[in-house]
């Protein structure tokens, strides 16, 4: 089996494992585009054997919409994960396990990807001189969390654990 085939198989397995989270991640970007007036060039595309799902939208040159689009999945998927973990602790049996799986799927896909945050510094640089430092302060942690695969993985696991603890009443 070739490396490309193994990569596609790996991507398919990840998509199956966290698919609901991937869908809500992309639709959170979609909703943020709509709310900020950024034109969307189609619905989010799930590509089960590819490295990522995509939502194509017009180029964003303003920091506010760029930041909102980048962090929308973090907000939406975190809330969904929290709700699913709370539901999982309230019910037993197969429904509880389903809620637990969905909570993990939403939590694991809450952080923006590297592609989601790649323009944040460029749009922050376009802010007026007086607000530019605030733009950089907001962009830096978001970009840092998505730039390194290792850091993103650690943060994702930790954040999902926090959501689990909060949702299940362990805090």
Q: How many CB atoms lie within 10 A of CB 131?
A: 11
Number of domains in the chain: 1
pLDDT of residue 171: 60
- Distance in angstroms (rounded) separating the CA atoms of residues 167 and 160: 10
By residue range, what is the domain housing residue 101? 3-167
Please determine, for residue 11, whether its predicted confidence score (pLDDT) is greater than 80: no
Which tops the pLDDT comparison, 109 or 5?
Answer: 109
pLDDT of residue 14: 83
Contact present, 30 and 40 (Cβ < 8 Å): yes
Minimum mean pLDDT range among 7-11, 13-17, 69-73: 7-11
- Distance in angstroms (rounded) separating the CA atoms of residues 1 and 8: 11
- Distance in angstroms (rounded) separating the CA atoms of residues 171 and 169: 6
């Amino acid at each position: 089996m070739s490396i490309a085939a193994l990569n596609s198989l790996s991507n398919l397995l990840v998509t199956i494992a966290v698919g609901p989270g991937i869908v809500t991640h992309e639709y959170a970007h979609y909703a943020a585009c709509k709310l900020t007036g950024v034109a969307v060039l189609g619905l989010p595309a799930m590509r089960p054997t590819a490295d990522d799902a995509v939502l194509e939208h017009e180029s964003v040159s303003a920091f506010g919409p760029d930041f909102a689009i980048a962090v929308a999945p973090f907000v939406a998927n975190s809330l969904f994960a929290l709700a699913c973990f709370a539901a999982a602790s309230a019910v037993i049996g197969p429904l509880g396990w389903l809620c637990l799986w969905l909570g993990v799927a939403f939590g694991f896909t809450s952080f923006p990807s590297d592609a989601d945050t790649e323009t944040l510094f460029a749009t922050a640089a376009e802010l007026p001189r007086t607000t530019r430092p605030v733009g950089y302060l907001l962009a830096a942690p978001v970009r840092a969390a998505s730039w390194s695969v290792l850091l993103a993985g650690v943060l994702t696991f930790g954040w999902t654990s926090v959501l689990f603890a909060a949702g299940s009443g362990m805090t």
